[in-house]
Amino acid sequence: MAKSTDYANKLQGFADRVKTEPVQLPVQKVTPVQAAAETREEQQLNVWIPKGLMKRLKVKGIETDQSLKEMVIEALSRFL
């Protein structure tokens, strides 16, 4: 019976706290969805290329201080 009285005391203590403590509502932060992705005039391109070619592309990017994106755009523009 000691367990049931402990439980009853804890439950009463909880009920007392609920009655006396002020209600604290959680604050929800609302951030607008970025519409920049929708207005871009770009599309994603995913391709698999040989490891050796990728390594050469990365080295060339370091040497010329260009990103992979810049080099791929330049190469495709010249090709087409």
Q: What is the pLDDT of residues 32-45, one digit of tens each?
A: 877 655 667 889 99
- Cα–Cα distance for residue pair 31/62, rounded to 1 Å: 37
- Cα–Cα distance for residue pair 45/33, rounded to 1 Å: 23
Going by the DSSP 8-state scheme, the letter that residue 16 receives in this structure is H
Does the pTM of the predicted model rise above 0.85? Answer: no
pLDDT at 60 over 80: yes
